[in-house]
Structure 1
Amino acid sequence: MIKAYFIERRSWILFYVFLHGLTIFIAYLDAAIPLRSVLYIVLLSLMVFTVFVIVRCRKETAFYQRLEEWETDIGLTTLPEGESPLEKIIEEKIASQTRLLLEKASLNQQSLEQEKDELLSWIHEMKTPLTAMHLIIDRLEDETTKAQLTYEWLRIHLLLDKQLHQKRIPFIENDLYFEAIDIEAMLYKEIKELQSWCIQKGIGFDIQLQVTEVVSDYKWLSFIIRQLLSNAVKYSNASDIVVTSRSQDDQTIIDVKDSGRGIDSKDISRIFEKGFTSTAKERENTATGMGLYLAKKAAQPLLIHIDVQSQAGAGTTFTLIFPRKNEFANMLRGCAKNKFYF
């Protein structure tokens, strides 16, 4: 800050030095002016000027020092108070701009909230005709047409479900309810949802569960499982998807393994990025690149780690690693502190 002050005031200091140098030069040329007296006066003036600069430096940099240390969050409570007229102008300008930003941020937040509420309302309203459509499809006698329509219905259902959870994820901490979950019942429920798609592609499931119960949030865990299962079905053909669970180092581990086309090694590190789709099938336009991204986002507040192992052409294994008991206990204490539910 001191260096910045001297850089800011260098023109004044140089001008002052120039004037004293000019005075000494004139006294040197004009014999009528006593040079020793002029040098004495200049020396005293420089001493007084040095003290003046030090005092002014401390006084003038105090405001800018406080401004530099000002909290980065937008607010007016910690805005430093100016003392000089110029400092007050700066303070008033910053305050007015901050108020304007706060007003705009508030309006934008209200607009986003309204948009989110309208979209969630629309998604919920869409569930009614979707349910009616499913009942109509079930009454069809033509099995081929029935299978095709059921598959298209399922695609719409999954897309709406994904959109619904995408809008809820920013507020997931307010939507957690921890309980003991029957893994087998959850898996069969999700598999049943994908039944028409699996029949169409000739895909079966092999369920091997050593651990049948886990403590987590049912709604969000089922969403994560749904994304992994639908991803496995999407990229597999006429094969079994193996789902296993086991306990290891005081942790529950669930594997979802398919025998599909696999993931290219250069894509492994990017599959959880928002909007990323495989570079191996660039012409494939059905993928949105949101499923695995949302699954990863939903897993974080549950302290679930998602791992993936894959090789191009040799299938993919997604692994859900649940927190240890002590990690989970710490999470529950945090939930209780924030008024979440167990």
Structure 2
Amino acid sequence: MNFYTFFREKFTYLFFNLVLALLFAVIFWKMTVHIGIMILFYLFWFGPLLLYYILSYIKKKNYYQNIVRFQAQLDQKYLLPELLVRPSFLEGQIIYDTIADTYKQMHEHVNVYKREQIAYREYIEAWVHEIKTPLAATRITLQNQGMDAGVFDELDKIEQYIEQVLYFARSSDVSQDYIIRAFPIQEVVNKVAKRNARSFIYQKIRLEMNELHEIVYSDVKWVEFILNQIVGNALKYSKSNQGVIKIYTIKRDNQIQLHIEDNGIGIPEKDLFRVFNKGFTGENGRKYSQSTGMGLYLCNRLAEKLNLGISINSKKNVGTNVQLIFPQSKVLLIES
């Protein structure tokens, strides 16, 4: 708000006063009133009026400029009412009360959805823990009956999908469920290799692990889940009997890159930039019905929450290389 726009809004009232002043000037002239008295009369008339407008302009300009400045500085714009002070002039009070009431209503609605989200997450977590019992019982029964290894491979996939559901439910609030600590990357890779050992054996896919001596900072549990999803994808799209999955690290500048490389079917170039989109399956997903399009989406979402990087390079019929990038400094992992 500038001086011109402020007084333009007052034009009608000022114009009426100027017309009235001219009318009085004509009357004073007809009555031969002394010029000094006329000047004094107009000073008492327009002096307080102009002074009121100037003070009102300064007060309103400062208030509205604060609103604009706060709005520009805030990353979360909806927090604006928290910074505002109720003004002393009527128009500002109306605006403030309206914004404050809107903010209150919005806050109440957000709390409703938060409670629903918490209830949903608690239900999913309870369901996951409950479903593990019959799955474990099924596994034991099948082992006693000497079932084919392929059946157990399918059970492993079911457990991975169940785990995916659990981590998806938790992914909206990762900050409440992670602990940053230093750990050797070999520790997580070994756990993931052990979890998928049956699939490697059943599909006759070779696993090569090299240069895994680096120490990284993150949450072990969440990193293990991300790595397990990536390895699971590599197994899913590798060719049986001739597949090779390589896991190794490369140290560059202030980061450590964990590479998971396979010689599988690869990803078409036209699909590559969309692989992290939720539910995207692409050309490979249409060929392989077991693809859900959620694995890489969830990996990317969790990596962002943990302040890790994730990228993917691939060439059709050649293979895929996924890089999970760890900052070397623990400080870089802490969200601001």
Q: TM-score range by the shorter chain?
A: 0.7 to 0.9
Residues 59-74 of structure 1: matches in 2 within 5 Å? 59-70=59-70, 72-74=77-79
Indicate the residue corresponding to 2:223 in structure 1.
221
Indicate the residue corresponding to 2:293 in structure 1.
289
Structure 1: distance between partners of 2:293 and 2:190: 25
Structure 2: distance between partners of 1:106 and 1:286: 37
Indicate the residue corresponding to 1:57 in structure 2.
57
Residues 134-149 of structure 1: matches in 2 within 5 Å? 134-143=139-148, 147=150, 149=151
Give the structure-2-normalised TM-score. 0.77
Structure 2: distance between partners of 1:194 and 1:214: 23
Structure 1: distance between partners of 2:127 and 2:83: 42
Tell me: CA distance 1:152–1:94, structure 2 relative to 1, closer, same or farther (3 Å). same
Indicate the residue corresponding to 1:244 in structure 2.
247
Q: Shift of the alpha carbon at 1:120? A: 1.0
Structure 2: distance between partners of 1:76 and 1:306: 37
The answer to whether the 8 A contact 2:303-2:309 is kept is yes
The structure 1 residue matched to 2:166, chosen from 164, 167, 184, is 164
The answer to whether the 8 A contact 1:67-1:80 is kept is no
Identity %: 24
Q: Shift of the alpha carbon at 1:142? A: 4.7
Residues 1-342 of structure 1: matches in 2 within 5 Å? 1-2=1-2, 6-7=4-5, 10-17=8-15, 20=18, 50-70=50-70, 72-74=77-79, 78-143=83-148, 147=150, 149-173=151-175, 174-181=177-184, 183=186, 186-198=188-200, 202-212=203-213, 214-216=215-217, 217-238=219-240, 239-249=242-252, 252-279=256-283, 281-282=285-286, 285-300=289-304, 304-324=308-328, 327-328=329-330, 330-331=331-332
Q: Shift of the alpha carbon at 1:298? A: 3.0
Deviations 1:138-166 (A, max 9, x none): 223353xx62x324322321111112122
The answer to whether the 8 A contact 1:203-1:233 is kept is no
Structure 2: distance between partners of 1:247 and 1:60: 59
Structure 1: distance between partners of 2:206 and 2:313: 19
What is the root-mean-square deviation of aligned Cα atoms in Å? 3.9
Total equivalences in the alignment: 325
One-letter amino acid of the structure 2 residue matched with residue 210 of structure 1: E
Q: Shift of the alpha carbon at 1:46? A: 6.6
Deviations 1:14-51 (A, max 9, x none): 453366358759989xx9699xx8x9799867777554
Give the structure-1-normalised TM-score. 0.76
Structure 1: gaps of 5 or more residues: none
